[in-house]
Amino acid sequence: MKRFPENFLWGGAVAAHQLEGAWDEAGKGPSVADVMTAGSAKQQRQITAGVITGQNYPNHQAIDFYHHYPSDLKLMAEMGFKCFRTSIAWSRIFPQGDETQPNEAGLKFYDDLFAECLKNGIEPIVTLSHFEIPYNLVVKYGGWRNRKMIDFFVKFADVCFQRYRKQVKYWMTFNEINNQTGYHNEFCLYTNSGIQVKPGENAEQLMYQAAHYELVASAIVVAHGHEINPAYQIGCMLAMEPLYPLNSQPQNIMMAEKAMQKRYWFTDVHVNGEYPSFMEAFLQNKHYRTDITVADRYDLKQGTVDYIGFSYYMSKTVKASEDNPAYEYDDFSSDVQNPFLPASEWGWTIDPEGLRYGANWFNDRYHLPLFVVENGLGARDEIAADGKIHDSYRIDYLQAHLVQLKKAIVEDGIKIIGYTPWSAIDIVSAGTGQMEKRYGFIYVDKDDQGKGTLKRIPKDSFYWYQRIIATNGENL
Ligand code: BGP
C-alpha cells in the first residue's frame, strides 16, 4: 500500500507582504501591496494606488513577522514543519525595481530568515513574485505592460539565486500567474501585473501581453537558475480551481473545457515552452497584436519548469449561454452555483474532491511532480472563554482535503512533493485586505483596525496538524 512519501514536505505557506510588515524598514521601497492596504477599499476591489501614507494598517504592519520570525519559526518547528513557503519582497532587494545594485540590508534579512528556518530544521520554499512588484515600476513603466519588466525581474531573480544558493532548493517564479484571467476586475491585473487599466483600453488584450512578458521572464529565470545551481528545483505556481460543467449538456461540457483552457494555458507555456494551439488561434481570432518575438519563443523553450506548484481552495461550476457561442469563459457570467457544494462565509465552495481532481488533471496533462503550496479555509476565529481557539471547522476542512490528497498519491499514483496549507500563521488576507479572514494554525492578536497585542496563540488545528505531520499522514 502506498503512503505519503517518507521525505514528504509538510509545512505551511505565507507571502511576504501579507505578514512581514516593516514596509519601509532597512531601505525597503513601497510595493503595489503597500499602496492598496486600505482594507475596505480593497474589499470593494478598488485600488488606492498612489496613497503611500505610511499609516495604512494591514500590510504596512501586518503581523510584524519581520521582527517576530525567530519565535514564529520556533512555533512552526514545534508543529513539525519540514518546510516553510514564503516569498521574497522584491522591493526589499530592489527598492525602486530599476536600480543597478541591490539593497544589502534587504538581502541580509532573507539570509537571516532562511538561516533561522534551517536552524529549526525547516526548508525554505521561495516564491519570487507574490502579488507585490516595486511600486516605482508601476509608476515609471506601467508594470508588466512593459517589456522592460523582463530585465528587472531577471536581475532580481539572478541576485536571489546567487545569494541563497546554499539555503534554498525549491523556487517558484510567479504566484498564481493564471489569476489575472479575471482581468475585467482591475484588482486582479493590479496585484499580478501592476497594471492600471486606462479608460478606453482593452483589459483583456493587456492581460495577454503582460502574461506573455511574465512567462518569458519566468522561462529566462528558470534557465538562469539551473545554470547558477543545477540542483535548483524551479516551478511555476497556478491557482487550481477546477471548472466543472453544470450538467451533461454538451454545450456545458464544452464551456467547461474552454474555461479550463483559458485558466490553464499558462501551464502549457511553463511546462512545454510553447503556446498551445488553442491559444495561438484565440489571439489571432481576436486580432490581438501581441508582442511575441522569435527570441521570446526561443527563451520559452529554454526555461521549462521542474514541477508544478498550485493552490487549491475551491472548484467552480460553469454553464454555457446562447449569447456566448464561442464559449468564452468569464467568471462573472459563466460561473453558476454548484448545487452539491457548501461554501465558506466568503462564498468559496468547499470541495475536497476537487483537490484530487485538480491533481489528476495536472498529472494527466503535464507528467511533472506536483506541489500543493496553498490550501485552507478562511474563517473568523474567536478566542473562547478558556483562552483557546477551537477551530474544528478548519480541522474538518484540512482533514477532508488531506484524505483526497492521499488518494491522489496512493490510488492515482501521482508524484506529490509536499503540502503547505495556507496559512502557517494568521496573516492579512490578500483579497479583502483584512485580518479577520483567518487561515492560520497560529492565532495572531490583531484586528481589522490594527488593534491588538500581536500575541501568538496556537489554535486546536495547530495540535491536529502536529499529529498529522508526526504520523506522516497515516491516521487521517
Ligand atoms: C491566494 C493567494 C494568497 C492568499 C490566498 C487566500 O489566491 O496566493 O496570497 O491570500 O489566496 O486568499 P484571501 O487572502 O483573499 O482569502
| ipTM score for this prediction | 0.98
Question: Which pLDDT score, from 0 to 100, does residue 55 have?
Answer: 52
Weakest mean pLDDT among 152-161, 198-207, 407-416 = 198-207
pLDDT higher than threshold 60 for residue 433? yes
Q: What percent of the chain has pLDDT over 70?
A: 95
Question: Which pLDDT score, from 0 to 100, does residue 223 have?
Answer: 98
Residue 2 lies in a domain: no
Check the CA dihedral 405-262-270-89 and report its sign. Answer: negative
- The pTM score is 0.95
- Model confidence at 41, pLDDT cuts 50, 70, 90, reads very low
pLDDT higher than threshold 50 for residue 40? no
pLDDT higher than threshold 50 for residue 44? no
Residue 1 lies in a domain: no
pLDDT higher than threshold 80 for residue 289? yes
What pLDDT, in 10s, does the model give residues 135-169? 999 999 999 999 999 999 999 999 999 999 999 99
What pLDDT, in 10s, does the model give residues 444-464? 999 988 889 999 999 999 999
Probe residue for ligand 1, chosen from 131, 191, 422 as the CB with the greatest number of ligand atoms within 8 Å = 422
pLDDT higher than threshold 80 for residue 58? no
Question: Which pLDDT score, from 0 to 100, does residue 161 have?
Answer: 98
Q: Is the CB of 437 under 6 A from ligand 1?
A: yes
The alpha carbon of 307 and the centre of ligand 1 are apart by a number of angstroms equal to 21
Question: Which pLDDT score, from 0 to 100, does residue 97 have?
Answer: 98
What pLDDT, in 10s, does the model give residues 324-365? 999 999 888 889 999 999 999 889 999 999 999 999 999 999
Q: Is the CB of 175 under 6 A from ligand 1?
A: yes
Residue 476 lies in a domain: no
Residue 412 lies in a domain: yes
Q: Is the CB of 86 under 6 A from ligand 1?
A: no
State the residue range of the domain holding 304.
Answer: 9-470
pLDDT higher than threshold 60 for residue 38? no
Check the CA dihedral 179-180-181-183 and report its sign. Answer: positive
Residue 176 lies in a domain: yes
Q: Is the CB of 132 under 6 A from ligand 1?
A: no
Probe residue for ligand 1, chosen from 42, 429, 438, 448 as the CB with the greatest number of ligand atoms within 8 Å = 429
Q: Is the CB of 430 under 6 A from ligand 1?
A: yes
Residue 190 lies in a domain: yes
Residue 119 lies in a domain: yes
Q: Are 465 and 424 in contact (CB under 8 A)?
A: no
Number of domains in the chain: 1
Q: Which three cell numbers stand for residue 318?
A: 460553469
Supply the residues annotated as catalytic. 374
In terms of phi and psi (left: phi > 0; alpha: psi -120 to 50; beta: otherwise), the region of 97 is left
Mean pLDDT throughout 165-189? 89
Question: Which pLDDT score, from 0 to 100, does residue 211 have?
Answer: 97
Probe residue for ligand 1, chosen from 132, 439, 448 as the CB with the greatest number of ligand atoms within 8 Å = 439
Identify the CATH number of the domain in which residue 366 sits: 3.20.20.80
Going from the C-alpha of 446 to that of each of 58, 451, 459, the distances in angstroms are 10, 5, 15
Q: Is the CB of 378 under 6 A from ligand 1?
A: yes
Nearest residue (CA) to ligand 1, atom 11: 430
Residue 161 lies in a domain: yes
From the list 206, 445, 437, 242, the residue with the least C-alpha distance to 359 is 242
Q: Is the CB of 114 under 6 A from ligand 1?
A: no
Q: What percent of the chain has pLDDT over 90?
A: 83
Nearest residue (CA) to ligand 1, atom 10: 430
Nearest residue (CA) to ligand 1, atom 9: 430
What pLDDT, in 10s, does the model give residues 362-394? 999 999 999 999 999 999 999 999 999 999 999
The alpha carbon of 375 and the centre of ligand 1 are apart by a number of angstroms equal to 9
Determine the atom of ligand 1 nearest the C-alpha atom of 176. Answer: 8
From the list 27, 23, 151, the residue with the least C-alpha distance to 95 is 27
pLDDT higher than threshold 60 for residue 52? no
